[in-house]
Amino acid sequence: MLDLPYAVPHDLIERYAREGFVRLPGLLDADMLAHYGEEITRLTLALNTQDKPLEERETYDRAFLQVMNLWRSSEIARRFVFGKRLAGVAAQLMGVKAVRLYHDQSLYKEPSGGFTPAHADQYYWPLASDRAITAWIPLQPVPYEMGPLEFYSGSHHSELGRDLPISDESEARITAEMEAQGHPIDRAAYALGDVSFHGGWTFHRAGPNRSERPRSVMTMIYIDAEMTVAEPVNAMQQADLAQWLPGLKPGDPAASPLNPVLLDGGLPQ
């Protein structure tokens, strides 16, 4: 199923363009997710470097444990990250024929883990266009009390708040701006197998994990295969350039050895 093509209905492609995100119920098989999720969670707990208890961490570090590019640490994780089904959905939503991997990212919100402040991912990315999209894949059901991802509908059309890294300040300022501009927030729960996709400039957040179970999520960031590198405009983008696009400079194709093409040859029929 990881490579089985999925033709995104035209109305959902239009919804993504309009709202900046879309949810696809049952896009992945629950039994398959259990198999890959076990390995992804194992790697996350083994490779993360957080050693402070929750109560001693800053806001960002209370939100989740995170590990990037698991595909380089395990053949099982690599098989999941390189799956063509999700890459194909990303290509259709962005309206491109081929996509590369920017990087993957595991997000493990511990029991009693804190909220994830409102932010836009592309603040961190030295990319020359907005043809970038994140697949958010829960590895267990995520009811509201576990902190599902929440999206501000249509917020990718707003430029206010794009200069803010994820922080207490971004939570306060962005939530106030989104309310003032009339962008409704979508707080839907996720069943196992549901996957959401959101654009790089779509503002989003997540609540705390009020349950006694961890919330384990895998994400993949896909970019247009013809993406080029932009001049970094902040220190975070400079760090991303060195880490995820090693050896590249502004104007180069975003095509380091860490950014393989995951889908090429056109959209599924």
- Cα radius of gyration (the chain): 17
CATH code for the domain of 221: 2.60.120.620
**Mean pLDDT in the chain?**
94
- Say what the pLDDT of residue 3 is: 95
Instruction: Quote the CA–CA distance of 190 and 209 in Å, as a whole number.
Output: 14
Over residues 54-67, the pLDDT tens digits come to: 888 888 777 779 99
Instruction: Quote the CA–CA distance of 19 and 130 in Å, as a whole number.
Output: 14
- Say what the pLDDT of residue 53 is: 83
Per DSSP, helices labelled H in the chain are 10-19, 30-47, 59-63, 75-81, 84-94, 168-181, 235-244
The answer to whether the CB of 231 falls within 8 A of the CB of 111 is no
Give exposure, 127-140, as e/b (b: 16+ Cβ within 10 Å).
Answer: bbebbbbbbbbbbb
- Say what the pLDDT of residue 56 is: 83
Q: What is the total count of domains within the chain?
A: 1
Domain that holds residue 181: 10-256
In a domain, 264, yes or no: no
- Say what the pLDDT of residue 265 is: 64
Instruction: Quote the CA–CA distance of 198 and 244 in Å, as a whole number.
Output: 20
In a domain, 28, yes or no: yes
Predicted confidence band at 268 (pLDDT cuts at 50, 70, 90)?
A: very low
- CA of residue 33 relative to chain centroid, distance: 17
Task: Please tell me which residue, 185 or 59, carries the higher pLDDT value.
Answer: 185
In a domain, 220, yes or no: yes
- Say what the pLDDT of residue 57 is: 84
Looking at the predicted structure, is the pLDDT value of residue 121 above 60? yes
- CA of residue 23 relative to chain centroid, distance: 13
In a domain, 266, yes or no: no
Cβ-count burial of 39 within 10 angstroms (0-12 exposed, 13-18 middle, 19+ buried)? middle
The answer to whether the CB of 191 falls within 8 A of the CB of 146 is no
Looking at the predicted structure, is the pLDDT value of residue 267 above 50? no
- Say what the pLDDT of residue 158 is: 95
Over residues 141-152, the pLDDT tens digits come to: 999 999 999 999
Looking at the predicted structure, is the pLDDT value of residue 50 above 50? yes
Tell me the average pLDDT across 27-51. Answer: 93
